[in-house]
Chain A
Amino acid sequence: MGPPLQPNQCGSRLGAPPSLPAECGGVACKPGLRVGMAVAAAIACRLLRLRAAGAGGHWRRLRGAGLPRGFLQPASAGEDAAQWRRVAHFTFQPDPEPLEYGQTQKMNLFQAVTSALDNSLAKDPTAVIFGEDVAFGGVFRCTVGLRDKYGKDRVFNTPLCEQGIVGFGIGIAVTGATAIAEIQFADYIFPAFDQIVNEAAKYRYRSGDLFNCGSLTIRAPWGCVGHGAVYHSQSPEAFFAHCPGIKVVVPRSPFQAKGLLLSCIEDKNPCIFFEPKILYRAAVEQVPVEPYNIPLSQAEVIQEGSDVTLVAWGTQVHVIREVASMAQEKLGVSCEVIDLRTIIPWDVDTVCKSVIKTGRLLVSHEAPLTGGFASEISSTVQSEAKLEKETGSSDSWLICGPLTR
């Protein structure tokens, strides 16, 4: 048939799927894929490859059932080395200007976050923002101007202690104030993991609703940025997905970020809000100046389609949007693109409804493959969705990002 499958060596050697440094983008496949999907994705991948490498693509073409495996066989080592692009590439796709929330202003992601925080502090006299270096504006400029506007009692720095930051945040929230904690990078959230999972998530439950820390929101920059390496690129949403009691939210754009962040702050459960750091400056959109809410636990169908459901969150949404439009253009494959938005509790209904319609699911995320959130989505869809189109196989594709090994 073809040489044995090499996982994690597909598509992105091309520099695509975009947003990731070259050597990445694993494709985990199992034998016996549904042919339709295999073809679609195979061709999509191949096309991306051709686009990067120029006209004379070096992929072997195999026909028939061996197509997926053959396609996934990378070109031999020396040949295409020069063709590999090691630069992150994706195009941010702004949404059209929202008209229902009043006057809008051009903002990038960090400005949208600042605007949301500004609205919160103005509306809620108990709201406080704290974290490392937030006083001068933050390392990503998300809190610029807030200390001058609201005073040093409401926007203040903490010592370098993530465990202390979240523990302190839980304490403030329990007394009733609105606590907005910043963890400087999602990679540093792990010292606070005990506080989040053992204290914050269980406070309401273990006290029989006598106390709760629902007014706590933790914000952290998240995801790949190209040069971040091990400790400035992580996407830890899967670790927290395993914990009932908290909510985890990832926006894809400035407009989404402001609405979702305001919802998180007002939500009566402790929330973790991950902000894709690569989008802080790269994503620019028209964002309403006044506060508005985007509901949590609701996925958004960005683009309707009929052949395959593509699910992603954060930066990857723009990647798969590009993939969807390529697939449509070159292959006539109609993709339904869903932005999950809230990781837990996630919108099972929307995704299942979509998969029932299309019969195929592809989930894409930056985090490592094993135990990544895509596996949860995939297994839930397979057990919950009563598929009308039975194609005899229950596999799904999970395309994952840079740290996949």
Chain B
Amino acid sequence: MRKMLAAVSRVLSGVAQKPASRVLVASRSFANDATFEIKKCDLHRLEEGPPVTTVLTREDGLRYYRMMQTVRRMELKADQLYKQKIIRGFCHLCDGQEACCVGLEAGINPTDHLITAYRAHGFTFTRGLSVREILAELTGRRGGCAKGKGGSMHMYAKNFYGGNGIVGAQGQIFEAYNMAALWKLPCIFICENNRYGMGTSVERAAASTDYYKRGDFIPGLRVDGMDILCVREATRFAAAYCRSGKGPILMELQTYRYHGHSMSDPGVSYRTREEIQEVRSKSDPIMLLKDRMVNSNLASVEELKEIDVEVRKEIEDAAQFATADPEPPLEELGHHIYSSDPPFEVRGANQWIKFKSIS
């Protein structure tokens, strides 16, 4: 029965009778959920880890797909805008790492707090900001989430503390590990291991590449960061661990970024194009989710294609807005340096032009 319906729908969509095919698709019954096996996580100082099977509902699956596709298209649009010089400054893209941000968000509550480094566009989106606000921030316009003054590395939202340009060097991380473990703070430390620190491969930069073990006295997990379900389960496990009062935990997500470190890095001087292609064809997170969903009848290819189209449109609209929105006025340059009442004068690069530090 199902096969017949599928055949009929194929014929009809071939005739491009869109409304008719949509009706057909809607009447096709999908599974409500499916169970999948996921890779077992390597453990450090833990007796047991996250489960090796998980249930994905159709609704969740579609939502994750849409979110990952949005992040992917948003990053590619940012790449395009950067090359057109509409986005300037620094831009660190996270395409390839969508499973990390979407999977993480799936495993925590919106009331949990998240802070990250500069590869933050994906997290900014999953934490609740719209693509419009993100792209407008990248182009430095008023409609941006930090009013156009923060840029790529300084995006903030409720319960999302950025987006930070300066990141913890090793010393700072270890001090943080110590304090978190000493006071049993419910904190998940996450390392998105995309195999390269800027242009240096982890093998050449780290005495030990088992990052999940480097918390030493803090337990750790190594997670397949290209599989969104694996990330989700690991996050749920880690969150439960922290919430039970046992203290901090570390998660290393093994992932990959397709772009270079930033837009000024072509990304091929320290790795081969073949390597990038291989990851793209074998472990692309969106492709993996799509295959899973289609093969277990959680969604159809057409349905997912429709989502693709909708996402593309959303991104286009956002890019339009981001390009057309006016820049913040020059007076805002001095705002929020201090919180001061009455505001006082700040001198800019030109000593005869003063701005008011209104806040």
Contact = CB atoms under 8 A, between A and B. Distances in A.
A405 B147 CA distance: 47
Contacts of B145: 208, 210
A174 interface: yes
A210 to B, nearest CB: 5
B146 A207 contact: yes
Contact of B175 (A167, A198, A209, A210): A167
Given A158-B179, A168-B179, A269-B340, A206 B150 contact: yes
A244 B346 CA distance: 9
B335 to A, nearest CB: 7
B117 to A, nearest CB: 13
A163 interface: yes
B149 interface: yes
A207 B338 contact: no
Interface stretch (B154-162, B261-269, B300-308): B154-162
Interface in B247-269: none
A207 B359 contact: no
A205 B340 contact: no
A161 interface: yes
A212 B179 contact: no
Interface residues of B, number: 30
A163 B171 contact: yes
B336 interface: yes
25 contacts: A159-B179, A159-B182, A161-B175, A161-B178, A164-B172, A164-B175, A164-B178, A164-B179, A167-B172, A167-B175, A204-B337, A205-B149, A205-B337, A206-B162, A206-B165, A207-B146, A207-B150, A207-B162, A208-B146, A208-B149, A210-B157, A244-B346, A245-B338, A268-B339, A345-B338
A340 to B, nearest CB: 16
Contacts of A211: 156, 161-162
The 8 closest A-B pairs by CB, nearest first: A164-B175, A268-B339, A208-B146, A208-B147, A206-B154, A161-B175, A207-B156, A209-B336
Interface in A268-304: 268-269, 297
B146 A206 contact: yes
Nearest to A209: B336
Query: How many interface residues does chain A have, given as a range?
Result: 20 to 34
Contacts of A297: 344
Contact of A204 (B164, B176, B182, B336): B336
Given A194-B166, A204-B339, 7 more contacts: A159-B178, A199-B166, A204-B359, A206-B150, A209-B336, A210-B156, A214-B339
State the majority secondary structure of interface residues on B.
loop
A214 B339 CA distance: 8
A167 B165 CA distance: 15
Given A199-B166, A245-B337, A269-B339, A207 B154 contact: yes
A209 B335 contact: yes
Interface in B315-345: 335-340, 344
Contacts of A194: 166
Interface in B173-198: 175-176, 178-179, 182
Nearest to B155: A207
A269 B338 contact: yes
Contacts of A163: 171-172, 175
Nearest to B147: A208
Contact of B161 (A159, A174, A269, A345): A174
Residue with the highest number of chain B CB atoms closer than 10 Å, among A168, A194, A206, A214: A206
Nearest to B169: A194
Interface in A199-234: 199, 204-212, 214
Nearest to A201: B337
Contacts of B359: 204, 209, 268
B337 A167 contact: no
B234 to A, nearest CB: 24
Nearest to B359: A209
Contact of A208 (B150, B176, B178, B338): B150
